[in-house]
Amino acid sequence: MTSEVRRRPAWVQALAPRAAGVVYAFVLLVAVLTIASEAQGRPNYLRAINISNILDQTSLVGISAIFMTVVLITGNFDLSVASTGALAGTVAIKMVDSQGPAVALIVALLCGAAVGLINAVLVQKVGVNAFIVTLGTLTAVRGVVQAILNGNSITANNEAFHVFATAHWTMPQGVAIGVGVVLLAGVAYLATRSDHRGRVLGATALLWVTGLALFLIGLFQKALLDQTLPVWLMIALTVVVSAVLRYTVLGRNLYAVGGNPEAARLSGISVDRYKMGAFVLNGVVAAGVGILYAGRFNSVDPTVLTGNELTVIAAAVLGGTSLFGGSGYVAKSVIGALILFTLSNGFNVLNIGSNYQNVVQGLVLIAAASLYTATSARGRSLVRDRLAAMRARRQAPSADRSEEKELTSAGR
Amino acid sequence: MSDLPAPAAVLEAADVRKIYPNGTEALRGVSMTVRHGSVHGLIGANGAGKSTLIKIISGVETATDGTVAWRGQAVRWTSPAQALSAGLAAVHQHTPLVPAMTVLDNVFLGPARAVTWDAGARADELGRLCDRIGYHLDASRPVGELSVGARQMVAILQALARDPALVLLDEPTAALSPSERDVLFRSIRRLRDQGTTFVYVSHFLDEVLDLTDRLTVLRDGRVVVDDATAATTKDDLVTAIVGERLARVEASAPPPHSAGEPLLVVEGLRSTGRFGPIDLTVHAGEVVGLAGLLGSGRSELLEAIYGADPAATGLVRVAGRRLRARTPHTAVRRGLALVPEDRNRQGLLRDWPIWRNVSLPYLAELARHGLPDADRERELAERAVTDLGIKAPDVDTLVGELSGGNAQKVVFAKWLYGPARVFLLDEPSAGVDVGAKADIIQLIRRLAEAGKGVLIVASEFEELLSACDRVLVMRRGQLIGERVAAQTDLHELTALASGL
């Protein structure tokens, strides 16, 4: 082994397509849509109302994707989120008129926790495959929803959930600029204090990007400071969960139990506790998302949220989360969700017709997953070897006599 | 070499170089000639370039420079399948087999010679194959039920079923018991006499001396010895492999000392079907060896002490306090540390850099208010790299990129700087070269000098003799003997462990 290996600096790695590809893809998509709608003489695609629209549409799937990513990081899989959300929404709408919003909320969230716990116990303690278990709970919980609703849709009179799910909150301009400045200053302070500036900037990317965004939006685009509560919730949860995963012992251990459960266990980490915790948390959050979704129209029907779990998983995969556990970033999963909803929004805005939406979304997902695999360490060496083989083959026929020399130079 | 069509050379590597994209220069001009009908030994320390050379020869990787000639023709294989169809079969330490399928199915996995699966003909063919190598096994048993050694034989049969001209054996004996090894060697000799050529890669020098006709020793990506085996001695080889760090293993005879307080007390520990009941004590400042063959229950015992076997019952005390909750989590909090047998599967996160691996067990202790302190973690890892002589560009190197010996040192480093008082080491030097092995034995002695208790399991009893104060012998799940290391020898331990 030689000791002089040049490693690219942390920030270069962080900006490489492999790490930040989903961000580039999102920017590219928005740029294309902006130019296309400009070319068709439609109103500016990036106007505040449209951005707010996309964000609001994304918010619930985005929140789900955050916690789905956590489950995926621990090496598990959860298909039951949409059914759990439907159950919680149904329970909340059903109970809110008679019991009041607080009780309804708590019972609904407990339902989510219960489904999460069932998943957790079956997967971690009994040892059934997570895909099968959650496929089962997906079906069974949906059945419970159908049994409760008995084919009818119900509407609540109490408007509490509706008010919450659709309320707007405007972040005061001063607060936005202030928080932005504080975050930027904090990162700058850390960076100047450390000997490894690149490393600090890489490790705190989420903080200074958020800070910069708030600062710029506060100064130049204050219309964007008015968003619905679910949007603010999505942003806050993204920041908080990212920070927990990135900066705490808890987060490190979550990655460890997904990356190599046996090594983590023998290192003294309670693997089951982390993996089960992720399931239960995911159940509670799925319930919360279900309540918000039901709150939008203050009603539920038996098919509410059907198929939503696949959108959530698609968002996480678009964001580069590994289905084998041990890697993933919640912020990227949220961007993955944004891509999905920007696509469908773009179809509507450009009036292309929604028939092809699913085709395009599916293709985008497959393309992203292929790219991630191809640019992974293994994929890269595979591609390199294939190229080398092709070069060698091309050189070989023309060099029958001095074959060895030719082959040698082809390898360089 | 154009005027060298020498039919005697089956495989010829000339001035092969390999530089990895990250800049690591694994091979710096290696030449090797494997002659027809011989067993050619390939040895070298971890990181010497052995694995790289094997990968290039068998088509897994391509050389940056230099040529590989197969039966006089320059070739540039880009996949193992090409090598295989040319007649070069490789058997690796862990050849993937399909556990649920039978021996017969596994042996004939892959090559589709006919559309229909003629089980009778296949069985006959397998029978002939078994006759050729002089080893028989039940063809209808699922591979998953076989011992590690028998599986290795299945992997070799699988290679032979393709009727190769050259078989590349990569550490075939690492998991074999002595009797299984004898069978393997007998088979290799028989096949050689029938004209099959072998390249034999191993860490075990006596095996290489015993079995091979010629040998090549690599060090730091260069050939340092290329000679007939008869012309070399074990001492030559050790010198060639390790260079200047000669034979420290032999030199480090444990100093006599009085044992301290009992640190680890095990009473009546048993796990049905695996081992037990077992009583043992490890004192502070003492290194205790657990000598046993594969399947004797030795690794299972270590895991049970550590709380990793939920079915185990019995009493385990660490420094006088009983471990009530039987989980690794509790064991670690009470001061136990385990260096597991399979470091890649059980000990390391290969996608993580060195520093994150090192800090894993005691991350909470290193953290401030639940927030890991990356600077402290890096400092710790840098200290470990220096203390243990881990060869890596820096602590950001991914563990998966390290050689076996260096990766094993990282597993040790995980526990060295925490509060661990009792170290359970399962095959601490498996797949590790002579130099790193000496380092590890010294490390173990240092742990004992610092007042820790150490319990080691090792297949190589020489290692136990050079590292331990006491040796416990385990056979079929029972402790059947105890010897003071200074008053016993290899023959006695081997005899006890194998029930002679």
Give the position of tokens 């805005």.
A349
Classify strands B197-201 and B262-271 as parallel, antiparallel or unpaired: unpaired
Q: Using the predicted structure, report yes or no on whether residue B45 has a pLDDT greater than 90.
A: no
B450 and B363 Cβ atoms separated by less than 8 Å: no
pLDDT tens digits, B136-189: 788 888 888 887 778 888 888 888 888 888 999 987 876 676 777 888 888 889
Element (H, E) at B345: none
CB A142: neighbour CB atoms within 10 A? 21
Per-residue pLDDT of chain A (412 residues; tens, 9 = 90+): 333 344 566 667 667 777 788 888 899 999 999 998 888 888 888 888 999 999 999 999 999 999 999 999 999 999 999 999 999 999 999 999 999 999 999 999 999 999 999 999 999 999 999 999 999 999 999 999 999 999 899 999 999 999 999 999 998 989 999 999 999 998 888 888 777 777 777 778 888 888 999 899 988 888 888 999 999 999 999 999 999 998 899 999 999 999 999 999 999 999 999 999 999 999 999 999 999 999 999 999 999 999 999 999 999 999 989 888 898 999 999 999 999 999 888 888 887 777 788 888 888 889 888 888 887 766 666 777 677 777 766 665 444 444 333 333 333 3
Q: What burial class does residue B407 get, using C-beta atoms within 10 Å of its C-beta: 0-12 exposed, 13-18 middle, 19+ buried?
A: buried
Q: Do A392 and B76 touch (CB under 8 A)?
A: yes
Chain B residue with minimum CA distance to A248: B371
Question: How far apart, in whole angstroms, are the C-alpha atoms of residue B39 and residue B54?
Answer: 15
A76 and A327 Cβ atoms separated by less than 8 Å: no
Q: List the beta bridge partners of residue A300.
A: A154
Residues B66-94 have a mean pLDDT of 85
pLDDT score, position B103? 87
- Taking the CA of residue A381 as centre, how many other CA atoms within 13 Å lie in the half-sphere pointing to its CB? 10
Chain B residues inside the 8 Å CB shell of A203: 374
A12 and A201 Cβ atoms separated by less than 8 Å: no
Question: How far apart, in whole angstroms, are the C-alpha atoms of residue B283 and residue B261?
Answer: 5
| Eight-state DSSP code of residue A122 | I
Q: List the beta bridge partners of residue B68.
A: B13, B75
* Domain locations along chain B: 9-243, 250-497
Classify strands B197-201 and B166-170 as parallel, antiparallel or unpaired: parallel
| Eight-state DSSP code of residue B368 | B
Instruction: Name the CATH topology of B250-497.
Output: Rossmann fold (3.40.50)
pLDDT score, position B244? 52
Q: Under DSSP, is residue A299 helix (H, G, I), strand (E, B) or coil?
A: strand
Q: Which of B484, B489, B442 is nearest to B462 (CA)?
A: B489
CA angle A344, A345, A350 (to 5 degrees): 100
Q: Using the predicted structure, report yes or no on whether residue B247 has a pLDDT greater than 50.
A: no
Greatest CA separation for chain B: 75
Question: How far apart, in whole angstroms, are the C-alpha atoms of residue B46 and residue A323?
Answer: 33
What length does chain B have?
500
Q: List the beta bridge partners of residue B423.
A: B337, B454
Q: Do A385 and B61 touch (CB under 8 A)?
A: yes
Chain B residue with minimum CA distance to A392: B76
Q: Residue B145: which residues within 8 A CB-CB, separation 6 or more?
A: none
pLDDT tens digits, B335-391: 999 999 888 889 999 889 999 999 999 988 888 877 888 888 999 999 999 988 888
B260-292 burial code (b ≥16 CB/10 A, e <16): eebbbbbeebbbeebbbebebbbbbbbbbbbbb
Nearest to B63 among A194, A262, A411 (CB): A411
pLDDT tens digits, B391-408: 888 898 899 888 878 898
Chain B residue with minimum CA distance to A403: B74
Chain B residue with minimum CA distance to A254: B360
Give the position of tokens 């909340």.
A92
Question: How far apart, in whole angstroms, are the C-alpha atoms of residue A247 and residue B377?
Answer: 13
A290 and A87 Cβ atoms separated by less than 8 Å: yes
CB pairs under 8 A between A and B: 122
pLDDT tens digits, B203-219: 777 788 889 999 999 88
Q: Under DSSP, is residue B309 helix (H, G, I), strand (E, B) or coil?
A: coil
Classify strands B9-19 and B25-35 as parallel, antiparallel or unpaired: antiparallel
Structure tokens at A6: 């040049």
Nearest to A3 among B370, B393, B403 (CB): B393
**CATH assignment, B9-243:** 3.40.50.300
Q: Do A3 and B391 touch (CB under 8 A)?
A: yes
pLDDT score, position A131? 94
Give the distance from residue A381's alpha carbon to the nearest chain B alpha carbon, in angstroms.
9
Question: How far apart, in whole angstroms, are the C-alpha atoms of residue A170 and residue B357?
Answer: 44
Kindly give the interhelix angle for A357-375 and A308-318, rounded to the nearest 10 degrees: 40
Q: Using the predicted structure, report yes or no on whether residue B293 has a pLDDT greater than 80.
A: no
Kindly give the interhelix angle for A229-247 and A330-349, rounded to the nearest 10 degrees: 150
A88 and A307 Cβ atoms separated by less than 8 Å: no
Structure tokens at A24: 């580039």
Structure tokens at B466: 């050079």
Question: How far apart, in whole angstroms, are the C-alpha atoms of residue B322 and residue B266?
Answer: 10
Q: List the beta bridge partners of residue B411.
A: none
Chain A residues inside the 8 Å CB shell of B348: 260, 263
Q: Do A267 and B328 touch (CB under 8 A)?
A: yes
pTM for the predicted model, two decimal places = 0.77
pLDDT score, position B176? 72
Residue type, A106: I
Q: Under DSSP, is residue B457 helix (H, G, I), strand (E, B) or coil?
A: strand
pLDDT score, position A314? 93
Chain A residue with minimum CA distance to B26: A1
Q: Using the predicted structure, report yes or no on whether residue B5 has a pLDDT greater than 70.
A: no
Q: Using the predicted structure, report yes or no on whether residue B4 has a pLDDT greater than 60.
A: no
Q: Using the predicted structure, report yes or no on whether residue B249 has a pLDDT greater than 60.
A: no
Structure tokens at B109: 């996995």
Q: What burial class does residue B226 get, using C-beta atoms within 10 Å of its C-beta: 0-12 exposed, 13-18 middle, 19+ buried?
A: middle
Highest mean pLDDT out of A111-120, B91-100, B449-458 = A111-120
Computed over every residue of chain B, the mean pLDDT equals 83
Q: Using the predicted structure, report yes or no on whether residue B479 has a pLDDT greater than 60.
A: yes
Chain A residue with minimum CA distance to B19: A412
Q: Do A249 and B306 touch (CB under 8 A)?
A: no
B76 and A404 Cβ atoms separated by less than 8 Å: no
How many Å separate Cα B440 from the centre of its chain? 14
Chain B residue with minimum CA distance to A3: B393
B135 and B183 Cβ atoms separated by less than 8 Å: yes
Structure tokens at A13: 């790695």
C-alpha separations of B477 from B314, B424, B494 in Å: 15, 18, 16
Chain B residues inside the 8 Å CB shell of A392: 62, 76, 78
Give the distance from residue B165's alpha carbon to the nearest chain A alpha carbon, in angstroms.
23
Nearest to A268 among B24, B65, B329 (CB): B329
A277 and A284 Cβ atoms separated by less than 8 Å: no
C-alpha separations of B185 from B13, B169, B207 in Å: 26, 12, 9
Give the distance from residue B370's alpha carbon to the nearest chain A alpha carbon, in angstroms.
6
Classify B59 in phi/psi space as left (phi over 0), alpha (psi -120 to 50) or beta.
Answer: left
Q: Do A411 and B65 touch (CB under 8 A)?
A: yes
Q: Which of A1, A385, A409 would you mutate first to test chain B, the one with the most B CBs within 10 A?
A: A1
Instruction: Say whether B250-497 and B9-243 share the same fold.
Output: yes
- Taking the CA of residue A273 as centre, how many other CA atoms within 13 Å lie in the half-sphere pointing to its CB? 10
Q: Do B349 and A326 touch (CB under 8 A)?
A: yes
B44 and A25 Cβ atoms separated by less than 8 Å: no
Q: Under DSSP, is residue A172 helix (H, G, I), strand (E, B) or coil?
A: coil
Chain B residues inside the 8 Å CB shell of A265: 308, 328
pLDDT score, position B492? 79
Question: How far apart, in whole angstroms, are the C-alpha atoms of residue B14 and residue B1?
Answer: 9
Residues B474-492 have a mean pLDDT of 83
